Structure formats: C-alpha cells, structure tokens
Chains A and B, each alone.
Chain A
Amino acid sequence: MRSRRGMEIALTLFLLAVSGVAYAHHGTEAYAMEKKVTLKGVIAQFEWTNPHSQVHLDVTDDKGNVTHWNFESQPPSILRHAGWTKDSLKVGDPATITFHPVKNGASVGILMSVVLADGTELTPNEK
C-alpha cells in the first residue's frame, strides 16, 4: 500500500515535471505552478494560434460582475495531438477551466484542462 502511494506521488511529480517542460519555451516564471484553480464561466474567445493558443473565459460572480480571464495553452501543432481542433471551443460555450494562476494576481493562467457542458474534457497532454 505504501509503495503504491509512493508510485502515485512519483507519477504526480513526473507529470508536473513533464508539464513544466511542455511550457518551457516562453517560461513559467510568471506562474504559481504549485497552485491549481478551477473557475466556471463561458468561453469568450478561442484563439487557435502560435506561439500559444489562448482561451478566454468570462466568469460572473454572485453580484453579477464579469471578470475576463485569459489562459495560455499550447500551439495548434501540439494541441491537435491532444485531440483539440480549431472548433473545440465556441464563444458562449459554458466551460469549467482548471489552471495554474499567475503570481501577480492578474486574470491570467496556464490552462490545465477545460470541461465542457457535455462532460468532454480537453487537456494539452498528448493522447
């Protein structure tokens, strides 16, 4: 049991290391890579582009205030191997996004996953 837990921890560390590598082109210095945040909102824009695709999410709080978030992800050449297409996200789609936030408190993050209303999950990781 203990060794299985050890394997799980080792696997988690490995995946974190791999995700760090995957984003190392422009660097991850701006991000709190040890933090993970999840927000629900609607897709405001999906930019399928180099050097990093960008997913924009509008999040409405209890008082009706809307915050516009921008998440960087991988370029199309990498996301297509993770099952994404240019049409994966459409403006107005309800979505739940999990991300590493930036350290300075801006509404920016590195995308870890998007879950759509039908349960479809998209991640930047190769399938």
Chain B
Amino acid sequence: MRNKFVRVLLATTATLLLSVGVFAQAPGGAATAAKDLQGVWLFGGGGDAFDLPSNVPFQDAARKKFDSERNGHGPHRVIDFAENTDPFITSCDPLGVPRILLANHPFKVVQTPSEVILLYERSHDFREVYMDGREHPKDLDPSWWGHSIGKWDGDTLVIDSIGFNDKTWLDYQGLPHSEALHVIERYTRIDHDNLRLNLTIDDPKAYTKSWDVARNYKLKPWDIGEDVCVHANEEHFENGVVKPASAPAK
C-alpha cells in the first residue's frame, strides 16, 4: 500500500516537472499559451515547400502564362539565367504572398496587442497583420505584399490578405495570379514545436475555384539572419556557376 502511494507520488511529481519543462522552453521565456505563435519557424516537411500543387484549376489565360514561364524549378526548367523568367531571379523582385511562405528560410512571429508582425529571413522582408478589428481599405493600391488583417478563430490565427499587384508568382514553379488574389492563412500551433498552416488561395480572375494547401513548420532556437537578393551577387553566381554549368557539353 505504501509502495503504491510512493509510486503514484513519484509519477505525479514527474508529470508536473515535465509540464514545467515544456513551458520553460518557450522563446523569450513566455509560456506556450494557445494563442502564442511567437518564435522562429522553419518549413519542416509534409510536402515540397517550394511549390504549390501543379493540378490547380487554371483559367485559360493563367494556364498560358504558366506554360510560358521558365525557371530553375517546376515543369519548365532551364539552366541559363538568360532564359529564366522568374522575377525573383531576374529582378530580385519581392516574393510576395504566398510565395514567401514556401521559402527554405525561417520566419519570425512577433505579436503585439494590435498586430502580428511576420519577419522573413528570405529577402529580409516583413508583413504587418492588423489585429485591431479594422477592415481592408476600399481603395487599396495594388502592392507587392498586399494588405493583411487578422483575427483569432479559437486557437487559430486567421490572416486575410488582398490588394496584391500581379507581378509576383504564387510559388517557385511559376503559378501566376491577378490583382484579384485573395489569400487566407490559418496558423495553428499544434504543439510547442509544430505550427500548421492551412492556406486558401482564391483568385477568380486566374483560377476557376479556390484551392487549399497545408504546410508544417518547426520551431527553431534561431535568430533571423540576412538573406537578401542583390543583383551583384546574382551576377557573380551566374558567372561562376550558372554559365559554366549551362555551356554546351565538352
């Protein structure tokens, strides 16, 4: 009887200690509250982060545009930068949304009472997500990053974004979009170390219906580094690697 009591006491104590340990791992000393997504997150498997599915519901014009694109990834691959049409490669254009979500670089979530700030290592870009209850402005000028508002749906952060220009690709293989692009991101922290993104892409001028994609991210004990696209660096890489690699075979 006494032994049983000791075993129960030890088990309870161990459970309590483990619980404290888990919460103590949170970045910045903050407890892992359900609505706390703060920290640095990196794509962690569950599909190819670089591309959205290629069996998307194209409208004809979007299909033609996609078929005309050439880059180092996706179904229309080229080696030579001279043939490459990827605006991120040729012009160092901003990746925009949702393509930034597919990069193999971490991003950091910062939460304040009135907004969520997303800091991206790739291109050293950022987004502000307004959490103060405002609506999207009626007269948005199309922009690289659009306009984002957020709210909590239970423990899921829902980010609604519109107001994009049509110069970015949706992903690395070259899926196009129009200025009517509407992106909904649903982030759920499924446990301390794992973040789930359910992404809805709706563009009634480029696709026949909206479609959903899911991605997983892992918590990392990292700082955000600097990974910027600079023309001089791209040219140096092109001269040192791409041109010799794309020359006719010896």
Q: A residues touching B (Cβ–Cβ < 8 Å)?
A: 21-22, 24-31, 47, 49-52, 54, 70, 72, 75-78, 80-81, 102-108
Contacts and interface: CB of A to CB of B under 8 A. Distances in A.
Contact of A106 (B73, B89, B236, B250): B250
Interface size class of B (residues with CB under 8 A): 35 or more
Q: Which of B77, B172, B244, B248 has the most A CB atoms < 10 Å from its CB?
A: B244
| Interface majority SS (helix, strand, loop, mixed), chain A | loop
B54 to A, nearest CB: 14
Top 8 A-B pairs ranked by shortest CB distance? A27-B72, A77-B225, A30-B245, A104-B249, A105-B250, A77-B227, A29-B77, A106-B244
A38 to B, nearest CB: 19
B105 A77 contact: yes
Contacts, number: 90
A54 B241 contact: yes
B79 A72 contact: no
A72 B241 CA distance: 7
A27 B79 contact: yes
Contacts of A107: 244
A15 B237 CA distance: 25
Q: Which of A24, A31, A49, A103 has the most B CB atoms < 10 Å from its CB?
A: A24
B234 interface: yes
